[in-house]
Amino acid sequence: MRAALRFSSLLSRPSPCMALAAKRQKMDAAIPSNGGLKIGTHSGSFHCDEALGAFLLKQTAKFAGAQVVRTREPEVIKTLDVVIDVGGVYEPEAQRFDHHQRGFGEVFGHGFNTKLSSAGLVYKHYGREIVASAMQLPADHADVEAVYLAVYKNFMEAIDAIDNGVNQWDSEGPPKYVNNTHLSARVGRLNPDWNEDASEAATMRQFQAAMELTGREFTEAVQYYARSWLPARTHVKEALEQRAQVHPSGRIMKLNTFCPWKEHLYVLEEEMGVAGEVLYCLYEDDREKKWRIQAVGVAPGSFDSRKALPVAWRGLRDAELSAATGVPGGVFVHASGFIGGCSTLEGAVAMATLALDME
């Protein structure tokens, strides 16, 4: 799937902050003014959530081309068409999206429990529309929903958590949320330093640069999950469904084409009611045209395997490995046993089959 993103022009090579701000201004000038609508957020120092939230609003049909106004004046805020991160009100029907007020506890849902920032609120209410436009699909399409949720999990949730001061880790156990970006810190550094011009005009230029930065990374995330992650899920699902054709135990699966498979495997196993069943994944190395046998980890990101390749094979290569396994074409087995290789598919299947019953 090669869906063209509506905001793909933001994927150009990063440029200095002032150039980014100038580019943003030119882009805004090129978009019809949408009836003079205004997006409001607070003045003073800015953070990642409102910069991204303002960018997201400008990707919607309603607020494309809207002007961004930064203020804390209550009377001015009343006149604005949509307000994020200021005003002390969360009322979606009134287009008010603040998260600082006492008693606020809105979360994204769908199994996510991190309190939302202003960016998360905008994404919750407008994210499907934005992703659907990017993918050129209806908002209720299943692929849009899959990407919408994946972008929240792998991009948006960390921004919400950091803005709300949620620790990523407890004293032990898995992380509470995925953090694949230090975007919040980089946005923070765009604020004028203590010994620089911190006038509202200068800060507004930097805020526009922050919108550009956050928007570019959001766009890249959507593109990745639409163009790479989602098609890979289809390949992994097919491999799971056909694994009995590789070995009757169903514990060995073969990818028909290499793709990022690990994250999808755990989710699909749960969905299909076979959690923990697959022990080895076979795939062809595109560069060397040889087959890999990879032991599945006990959990995403874990260095421990459900069943590592046998100790007797570890660290062996080529003829020495073939002699130990009795399978021609052996290439290697890693010293930790998490991965090995054979020159042919038949050999890889034979090695994986032998490994099922060995210590």
| Whether residues 82 and 137 fall in one domain | yes
**Three-state secondary-structure class, residue 247:** coil
Give the residue from 353, 115, 153, 346 showing the smallest Cα distance to 264: 153
Does residue 19 fall inside a structural domain?
A: no
- The half-sphere exposure of 247 on its side-chain side, counting CA atoms within 13 A, is 24
Let me know whether 221 and 313 are in one domain.
no
107 located within any domain: yes
Q: Dig out the tokens for 91 from the structure.
A: 């009322």
Same domain, 207 and 312: no
For residue 90, tell me if it sits in a domain: yes
- Residues 189, 56, single domain; the answer is yes
Residue 215 lies in a domain: yes
Chain segment 181-240, per-residue pLDDT in tens: 589 989 999 999 999 999 999 999 999 999 999 999 999 999 999 999 999 999 999 999
Give the pLDDT confidence of 286-320 residue by residue, as tens digits: 888 999 999 999 998 888 999 999 999 999 999 99
Q: What is the pLDDT of residues 234-273, one digit of tens each?
A: 999 999 999 999 999 999 999 999 999 998 999 999 999 9
191 lies in the same domain as 63 = yes
Has residue 1 been placed in a domain?
no
- Span 152-191, pLDDT tens digits: 999 999 999 999 988 877 766 666 766 555 899 899 999 9
Regarding whether 253 and 205 lie in a shared domain, the answer is no
Tell whether 44 and 157 lie within a shared domain: yes
- The reply to whether 155 and 253 lie within a common domain is no
Position 130 pLDDT exceeds 60: yes
Same domain? For 133 and 270 the reply is no
Does residue 34 surpass a pLDDT of 80? no
Domain extent for 56: 38-166+183-229
Do residues 190 and 16 make contact, with C-beta atoms less than 8 angstroms apart? no
Residue 25 domain-assigned?
A: no
Task: Give CA–CA dist 300/276, Å, rounded.
Answer: 12
Where b means 16+ CB within 10 Å and e means fewer, 45-72 reads: ebbbbbbbbbbbbbbbeebbbbbbbbbe
296 and 341 share a domain?
yes
User: What stretch of H or E contains 108?
Assistant: strand 107-109
Does residue 177 lie in a domain region?
A: no
Asked if residue 187 and residue 215 are part of one domain, the reply reads yes
Q: Is residue 213 part of a domain?
A: yes
Q: How far is CA 133 from CA 10, 35, 226, 234, in A?
A: 15, 21, 12, 22
CA distance 41 to 185: 19
Query: What pLDDT, in 10s, does the model give residues 7-29?
Result: 544 333 333 333 434 444 444 43
The DSSP secondary-structure symbol of 192 reads P
Residue 218 sits in the same domain as residue 252: no
Q: How far apart are CA 199 and CA 147, in angstroms?
A: 39
Domains identified in the chain, total number: 2
